[in-house]
Structure 1
Amino acid sequence: MRRPRRWPGSLHVVLLLYLVVFLAPSPVSSIVVNTPAELHASKWDAVSLSCTFTSTSRPTSKMTVDWSYRPQSGGAPLTFFHFSSRAFLPPDGQFVGRIQWKGVPARGEASISLINATLKDNGTYTCSVRNPPDVHGSPTSHTVLTVTPKVPRIRFSDVAVLLAFILLPSAIITLILIGRMLCPKKQRSQSKDYRSPIEVTEGEEYGVHPAEPKATRATCCDLYLKDSEDEDEYYDLKKRPPADDEYAESQC
């Protein structure tokens, strides 16, 4: 008695495996999107919302980029920017006229720029990239933006002006004082020697008067002449210089 051949069954299994391998759909590649976790900016600054992606497929005209915003207070995300072969800027709303496309898809760049940031722009920004057939993986990434009031800063020009107004007069005054301190003593002595006629003479301030010349004693001849009736001789005698001490004896 012969056993039945089973090889046709084995052939069926091999054929089924080939069908599964060749006819099954190929696996889909993934895409990865990256953005900074947090961004900080001051009021009225231009903020760069960076977004990069990596894809196993070369970007084509089917690639799309979407940016959405969710306020800090909460709520549903709002898509305000779209890119598909070209940039579609927001026609109205909070971000109108303040968005610039900075992306370069061929280099994996999908960034945008937010101009004149305000406190109302605080919130979460989401970057979504689709590049068929790479549509799975991590096609989205989030960034939390915090805008704070601008802190006044002192510019270098302001500091220079302040220093000029403070240091320049001080330097001039210092030079004048140094010049007076180093002034030649000769000029000082000359100023002391010359005195105005109306100045108080030395000693007068304290009631001390210079000694007056002593009056010459009248001799007997003078007395005689005073009694004389001849006034001319009297005046001549008065104008005569006083006799020396060695001849002070009476000549009568």
Structure 2
Amino acid sequence: MRRLCQRNPALDVVLLLCSVSFLAPSSVSSISVMTPPELHASRGETVTLSCTFTSTSRPTSKMTVDWSYRPQSGGPPQTFFHFSSSSFPPLEGQFMGRIKWQGSPARGEASISLINATLKDNGTYTCSVRNPPDVHGSPNSHTVLSVTPKAPSVRFSDVAVLLAFILLPSAVITLILIGRMLCPKKQRNQSKGYRSPIEVTEGEEYGIHPPAGKAKKTSCCDLYLMVQYRTLLHQTIQSMNN
């Protein structure tokens, strides 16, 4: 009778270990979520908030993804995006109409895109993934987004105006000089260029003056310069309109 009441210490240790291992969460059933620590973007760009996860269980319809945002100025995080079998983008607030789902649960992707980033979007973004029964491990990951003003760039219209006011006059002068070189004016005959005061032409002695010369006709060189000028002016105006 006394022998039956005695307890084996080794048996007690085994029973205790079994109890602890049964009650403790399994280290095999765990999930791990990963995001880049920092992201940088310029104002107006579309930035991808990357989030990947690994799970020991295959993603099912019970898997959920939540994205929350905490402003740079501080304050509690606010959930603005939810995924559960389908995406639920924000219907109000600063992210309304600017969030696009880029995830693929079968490939371990839970990323989203932020369209038209602004300076107000600076802050900390948290990606949370739940895939029952994998609820332990590291289901959350944080990334800090920094949006900076976009560097000023020269617009095409400014370049067109600059070309119109600087290059156009230079081109016109160049065309005129080329035209004069290609089409020189006829020089007057030196014998007729100078007349002695005592020289009298026929008819002048009787007070009769020769008929006035006809209006000067437009030469081919003048037409060439006019065509080149109009073509250059038309191209400049068209480039400014575009």
Where does residue 47 of structure 2 map in the other structure? 47
Distance 2:173 2:96 in 1: 58
Distance between the aligned counterparts of 2:191 and 2:145, measured in 1? 83
TM-score, L = length of structure 2: 0.63
Matching residue of 1:68: 68
Is 2:186 aligned against 1:187?
Answer: yes
Question: Partners of 1:191 and 1:117 in 2: how far apart?
Answer: 78
SS at 1:120's partner residue? helix
| Deviation, structure 1 residue 70 | 0.5
Distance in structure 2 (CA, Å) of the matches to 1:193 and 1:129: 104
What CA distance in whole angstroms lies between the structure 1 residues aligned with 2:163 and 2:143?
44
Cα 1:151–1:195, aligned 2, differ >3 Å: closer, same or farther? Answer: same
TM-fit CA distance, 1:104: 0.9
Q: How big is the alpha-carbon RMSD for the aligned residues of Structure 1 and Structure 2? A: 3.9
Return the alpha-carbon distance in structure 2 between the equivalents of residues 78 and 196 of structure 1.
Answer: 99
Q: Aligned pair in 2 of structure 1 residues 109, 183: CA closer, same or farther (>3 Å)?
A: same
Q: Tell me which moved more, 69-78 or 38-47.
A: 38-47
2:143 alignment counterpart: 143
Alpha-carbon spacing, 1:52–1:165, altered in 2? closer, same or farther (3 Å): farther
Q: Residues 208-246 of structure 1: CA distance to partner in whole angstroms, max 9, x if unpaired?
A: x99xxxxxxxxxxxxxxxxxxxxxxxxxxxxxxxxxxxx
Distance 1:159 1:192 in 2: 51
Q: Give the TM-score normalised by structure 1.
A: 0.61
Q: How does 1:84-99 map to 2 (within 5 A)?
A: 84-99=84-99
Q: Which runs of 5+ in 2 are unaligned?
A: 1-6, 199-242
For the pair 1:82 / 2:82, whether they are aligned, the reply is yes
Q: Which amino acid aligns with 1:113?
A: S
Count of residues paired in the alignment: 193
Separation of aligned partners in 2, 1:87 and 1:78 = 17
- AA paired with 2:85? S
Deviations 1:113-163 (A, max 9, x none): 222222211111111111122222222111111222333322567646744
Instruction: Name the aligned partner's letter for residue 121 of structure 1.
Output: D
* Unaligned segments of structure 1, at least 5 residues: 1-8, 202-208, 211-252
Distance 1:175 1:54 in 2: 71
2: CA distance, partners of 1:194 / 1:146? 85
SS in 1 for 2:186: helix
Identity rate, percent: 72
Query: 2:153 is paired with a residue of what secondary structure?
Result: coil
What residue identity is the alignment partner of 1:72?
Q
The one-letter code sitting in structure 2 at the alignment partner of 1:54 is: T
